[in-house]
Chain A
Amino acid sequence: MPPRLRLPLGNLRVRIYHHILPSQQCTYASLATTTTPAPPIDQTIRSIPPIARFPLNQPPSHKPPELRKSQLHRQYQSLLKSSPLILLFQHNNLLALEWMGIRRELAYALRNVDTERATTSHQNLYADAIKIQIIQTGIFASALRVVEFYHPESQPDSPTQHPSNPSTTSSARIPDTLPTPDDPRFTHGLSRRAHQAAANRKLKLELDPLLSGPLAVVAFPAVSPQHLKAALSILSSSSDFPAPKRKIQPSYHEPAVQAGLQKLMLLGARVEGKVFDQEGTKWVGSIPGGIDGLRAQLVAMLQNTGASVTNILESAGRSLYLTMEGRKCMLEGGKKETETEKRGE
């Protein structure tokens, strides 16, 4: 049988090209450079800017950033900065099953609030953002100190050029492009300056006595009394915030959930930087209609005062007018009388 591929015999031979090997071709380095392409014209005019030795979103931090505590610190700082309303709970040895039940009931109640608000065309639906979360108390306290006492915006910036910015000229003298936390340019929450600001023990937090023992927080992305009310009625029900009825929410009355709720204690709340105790928290939760309700109250109050103010201001003018009119009438009457008297004479 003849081969299926018909190749000429010359193609099957292995060829060795000795004469075009590059090592043999260029024997001088100067000759080799001539063959490489010229650099782009930009690079011949000015060289590339100096390079930072760390990514822009990962500036060097005071403590090693790969540790869990550093990451928790950063996470708690962002939690504290982003949520104006935080409830603090103490949890006394809850079981995982009980936590699960409580989380489920809380999510259910908050979702109900959201569906209610959606029907009245409210835009702010927060149910998915509100969760109960166990915190590492010491790290949370430290993060709170940084959030309260470290304000990099208020400190004067050293005018510097960032090395990885393309507009920075190559001749610019940049103090330190190496990742050392000593650099005062770093003003993030984990920086050395933040750590030093928070380490000042003379500054006392209002929330300090609460931050001990096992703690859990419920963080709200906005001060929304309706959501707060729902959360309070689940987590620490009282006469003002009645727990859901057995018919409406039967899973709330399961023994696991109830046993867990007995072990949760509401300690206080942090509302827009201010600290409230249990009573204060309940007061915030009992604001009717939330911020809209407050606005309506304010508008009604201002309208009433406005009306009364105009009344008062008007009344002065009116009384003046009346007295003047009275006087005028009196004088005219007097004139007439004198005229009639003259005529009579």
Chain B
Amino acid sequence: MITRFLTDVRAKFNPFSPRGKTVRLFLSLLPPNARSSIKIETKMLPRLSKEPSALYVKLKDGKELNLDLEKMKITEVTAEVDRHSRLLSRKEELTGS
């Protein structure tokens, strides 16, 4: 996953629901030094809450992604984030260096 262009990640999940797995895996994909450049907020829900897990991602150009995690799996989430990141990286290549 391309994480260079992420600026903001807000995650909310219940670890005891099978849907919370996607968010947890997404958080584990962020690089070790991610917290120096990305603002990461995680909120863990109690075990019995029925609240759906949510993942909000903001990219460098201001693009905001609210990912619906009821259906998406981790590969789809990374594909979605990468699609925008790749656009940004191409733009960066054309304009800069």
Would you call B35 and A259 a contact (CB within 8 A)?
yes
* Cross-interface CB contact of B25 among A95, A212, A280, cutoff 8 Å: A212
Residues of chain B lying within 8 A (CB to CB) of residue A280: 47
Known A265-B44, A268-B15, A277-B15; judge A213-B35 contact (CB<8 A): no
Within 8 A of A (CB), among B5-31: 15-18, 20-21, 24-25, 27-28, 30-31
Query: Which of B16, B30, B35 lies in contact with A209, CB distance below 8 A?
Result: B16
Cβ contacts under 8 Å, A268 to chain B: 15-16, 47
| Number of residue pairs A-B, CB distance < 8 angstroms | 53
Which chain B residues lie closer than 8 Å to A209 at the CB level?
15-18, 20-21
Q: How far is the CA of A212 from the CA of B42 in the complex (A)?
A: 18
Query: CB-CB < 8 A to A94: which residues of B?
Result: 32
Q: Chain A 237-268 against B: per-residue CB contact (8 Å), 1 yes, 0 no?
A: 00000000000000000000001001101111
Please tell me the number of chain B residues within 8 Å of chain A, measured between CB atoms.
Answer: 20
**In the bound complex, CA of A288 to CA of B30 (Å):** 38
B46 within 8 A of A: yes
A242 to B31, CA, bound (A): 28
Please name all residues of chain B whose beta carbon is closer than 8 Å to the beta carbon of A259 when the two chains form the complex. Answer: 35
Contact A93–B32 (Cβ < 8 Å)? yes
With a cutoff of 8 Å between Cβ atoms, the chain A residues found around residue B47 in the complex are 268, 277, 279-280
Select from chain B the residue with minimum beta-carbon distance to A206. Answer: B16
> CA A81 – CA B35 in complex, angstroms?
37
**Contact residues of B between 26 and 81, Cβ < 8 Å to A:** 27-28, 30-32, 34-35, 40, 42, 44, 46-47
Q: What residues on A are CB-neighbors of B17 within 8 Å?
A: 209
Which residues 177-197 in A have Cβ within 8 Å of B in the complex?
none
Cα(A150)–Cα(B47), bound, Å: 27
Tally of contact residues, A, Cβ under 8 A: 21
Given contacts A265-B44, A268-B15, contact A212 B32 (CB under 8 A): no
For A277, what are the chain B residues with a Cβ–Cβ distance below 8 Å? Answer: 15-16, 46-47
Q: Contacts A268-B15, A277-B16, A279-B46 given; indicate if A95 touches B21 (C-beta within 8 A).
A: no
A210 within 8 A of B: yes
Please provide the chain A residues from 262 to 309 with a CB less than 8 Å away from any CB of chain B in the complex: 262-263, 265-268, 277-280
Residues of B within 8 A of A75 (CB): none
27 A-B pairs whose Cβ atoms sit less than 8 Å apart in the complex: A90-B24, A90-B27, A90-B28, A92-B28, A93-B28, A93-B30, A93-B31, A93-B32, A95-B32, A209-B16, A209-B17, A209-B18, A210-B15, A212-B21, A212-B25, A213-B25, A262-B35, A265-B24, A265-B42, A265-B44, A266-B44, A268-B47, A277-B15, A277-B16, A277-B47, A278-B46, A280-B47
